[in-house]
Amino acid sequence: MPQYDLPLAELQRYRSSATPPADLDAFWTRTLDAAREVASPPKVQPVDSGLSVVEVSDVTLSGFDGEPVKAWYRRPAGVTGDLPVVVRYQGYTGGRGLPHQVGPYPLAGYAVLEVDSRGQGTGYGWVGDTPDPHGHGPSYLGGFMTRGLLDPEEYYYRRLITDAVLAVDAAQQLPGVDPSQVVVAGISQGGGIALAVSALRDDLAGVMADVPFLSDFPRAVVTATAGPYPEIAAYLASHRDHVDRVFATLAYVDAAVLVTRSTAPALFSVALMDNVCPPSTVYAAYNAYAGDKQLRSYPFNDHEGGQFHQEAEQLAWLRQLLHP
């Protein structure tokens, strides 16, 4: 895949054409207040993962409308005291995985809350365990991108982002967590969700968003040639009279719109040959992000982005952020 998007100089100053709805803040305040009114404390049950250096617990937390969301809580075995925690969100179609599927963060001394994605969990070996009990109108081949797309109140990502925000509430209540040191993180869809959460909370220690999805929908839908964005284009190819309603809904969950409200330090990554999350859409979020920010760029990579090289960048960044 060649570099097909804007030249680097244009990417560095690019801004999305998406505009915030007039009631954006009221919409999310009302949504989150309603979810918190019916929320329950997280339930934590230790499990035998077969690992000797990482402790794993099964967590059930409250999400949208008080509905249960599953997660894994992992921390270094035998370590006492309250630790910083990374709350991690999943890529498109992925779930929280199995208890022993451990990333680098607990091995580096951090607690981790690996949050499931409601209704997802059949992609690339990361299974899920959280249903999405809500019905919806027409959608493209069952794709999550188009579920409830004509109404922001009914849109799938309203529920998923609410789950993600309340996952931070849950993480702050977990035993052995320093509630003042919460970092949200994710790749692709997970990165877009992390950015949305960063806009809807003012108490995060940091944000790590790799090749983030859910950003700059007006450009992404007409530029991406693979992945989830084409679901929206395919829907609109059939529902030609829904264009305005669709993009009006998407503006409520667009990271490039939301992150003008973000304040936590952030580490982004972008891949300049990415045809799933076009580089311009990542730069749209990065350029609009209101907090302190850094960007790692991978000129010759597609949607896999920096992978293990980016993990090394994250570990160094976290060390500086949390242990200066």
| Whole-number pLDDT of residue 121 | 86
Place 142 in a pLDDT band, splitting at 50, 70 and 90: low
Greatest C-alpha distance within the chain: 59
Which tokens hold the place of 175?
Answer: 């035993």
Q: Which of 116, 163, 210, 274 is labelled catalytic? A: 274
- Told to judge if 82 belongs to the known catalytic residues of this protein, a careful annotator would answer no
Per-residue pLDDT reduced to its tens digit, 36-95: 999 999 999 999 999 999 999 999 999 999 999 999 999 999 999 999 999 999 999 999
Inter-residue contact 71 to 116 (CB < 8 Å): yes
* DSSP reduced 3-state for 81: coil
Which tokens hold the place of 60?
Answer: 């059930």
| Whole-number pLDDT of residue 135 | 72
pLDDT at position 160 over 80: yes
| Whole-number pLDDT of residue 204 | 98
Q: Which of 24-33, 138-147, 205-214 has the lowest mean pLDDT?
A: 138-147
Per-residue pLDDT reduced to its tens digit, 277-304: 999 999 999 999 999 999 999 999 999 9
The answer to whether the annotation marks 92 as part of a ligand binding site is yes
pLDDT at position 127 over 90: no
Mean per-residue pLDDT, 149-154: 96
Place 184 in a pLDDT band, splitting at 50, 70 and 90: very high
Handedness of CA 97, 299, 294, 189 (dihedral sign): negative
Q: Which residues contact 50 (CB under 8 A, 6 or more apart)?
A: 99, 100
302 secondary structure, DSSP code? -
Q: Which CATH number fits domain 8-319: 3.40.50.11440, 3.30.980.10, 3.40.50.300, 3.40.50.1820?
A: 3.40.50.1820
| Whole-number pLDDT of residue 139 | 45
Ramachandran region of residue 216, left (φ > 0), alpha (ψ -120 to 50) or beta?
left
- Told to judge if 303 belongs to the known catalytic residues of this protein, a careful annotator would answer yes
| Whole-number pLDDT of residue 131 | 87
- 278 vs 297: CA distance, rounded Å: 13
pLDDT at position 162 over 70: yes
- Told to judge if 309 belongs to the known catalytic residues of this protein, a careful annotator would answer no
Q: Which of 49, 57, 188, 280 is labelled catalytic? A: 188
| Whole-number pLDDT of residue 85 | 98
- 25 vs 139: CA distance, rounded Å: 27
Q: Which of 163, 198, 216, 303 is labelled catalytic? A: 303
Ranges of each domain in the chain? 8-319
